[in-house]
Amino acid sequence: MHAEIQPFRIDIPASAVDELRRRLRETRFPPALPRDDWATGVPVGYLRRLVATWAETFDWAAQQAALNEFPQFTTVIDGQTIHFLHLRSSVEGALPLVLTHGWPGSFVEFLDLIGPLTDPEAHGRDAADAFDVVIPSLPGFGFSSPVAESGWDAARIGRTWATLMERLGYERYGVQGGDIGAAVSPEVARAAPTRVVGVHVNGSMGMPLGAPSEADLATFTTLELDRLGRVQTFMQDEFGYIAIQSTRPQTIAAGLADSPAGQLAWIIDKFHAWTMPHGALPETIIDLDRILTNVSLYWFTETAGTAAYIGYAQHSAWGATSEPSGVPTGAIMFAHDVGIRRYAERENTITRWTDVTDRGGHFAALEEPALLMDDLAEFFRPLR
């Protein structure tokens, strides 16, 4: 093992768990607005139920023990502590793969993929599709904290991931990610184009942030017009959280670091808005223990502010353009996603593009792990 890499185990003190439960039990809920429905945010009645579950029946100790079954490590790169999972496949010739999460997620998004990736035969898959798996926590997220300085945009994180893989002794590897991970993964390829054999993303690549020209609009397919329309609706109806986190991350952190119910509401709002089918409660799509484990990580590590700061408040985080790395790039767009290939091709060498129009939300690894695995395996198969 590289001398600069240290083993890591999650060890949240029992006193911190007791404090969380006390705060949850003492939550001062806001008065319900008219109708108390999702149109104005997380309904108070629903939030009360989730808070009670988190306080009374959620077993953090069991979840912590389960997380610690996965080998975890930390290392310092460019002055920043980076936490990561690292699992080697027993299959000879397995391709190393870096998985990068987004906001409001964490490394726990990928837990259900680890088995099929590292031991595909045990999960009914072809051994030739085996991967070694590296799952870093983004700077400012979870145990990759605190953040000592600014400037952690996607390009810098990409360079950091390239350094991490070099430190682990990998000369050739692939990258995959969604949300922020879909911005970081291509940057790893730009940082190390001779080492990264392929980039695979879900969800965010090719999202049209500006108004297309009339000439472009005339050539749009029905699917592209639908995605464009949903981006415009998002910018009108849902952009508020980005505006707050990109301009006032410290202010929102003051509330979220002090109120676990507030932290839960801030995150569960997105799990409701971005999962499919729309309108379904998040726990009917994703296991509630997995959701609460994710929220608990934000709470125990006090990273609401740093995650917002790194994810949204860096100057080049939104709207920057880059040259293609030349590395083969694949994308899968589920029903909730809004990526448009022609936009993605401006900055990436797209060799595979999969549209899934009838299922799947933003959290692909949590919602549709089998479909994500299928596409990922097929994309990397000729690149090994």
Catalytic sites, residue numbers? 179, 312, 362
CB 199 within 8 A of CB 185: yes
Q: What sign does the CA torsion over 73, 81, 109, 256 have?
A: positive
Token pair for 244? 């707050």
Closest by Cα among 160, 169, 165, 118 to 138: 160
Residue pair 118/87 in contact (Cβ under 8 Å)? The answer is: yes
Q: Which residues contact 201 (CB under 8 A, 6 or more apart)?
A: 176, 177, 178, 181, 182, 185, 186, 329, 330, 331, 332
User: Phi-psi region for residue 134, left (φ > 0), alpha (ψ -120 to 50) or beta?
Assistant: beta
The sign one gets for the Cα dihedral 368, 137, 114, 169 is positive
| Residue 199, CA atoms < 13 Å, CB-side half-sphere | 29
Give Cα separations from 322 to 1, 154, 246, 293 (angstroms).
35, 11, 21, 35
Q: Which DSSP state fits 314?
A: S
Is there a contact between 139 and 106 (Cβ–Cβ < 8 Å)?
no
3 state DSSP class of 44:
helix
Instruction: Say what angle helices 240-247 and 260-274 make with each other, to 10 degrees.
Output: 130
| Phi, psi for residue 29 in degrees, rounded to 5 | -80, 150
Q: CA 351, 353, 355: angle at the middle one, nearest 5?
A: 175
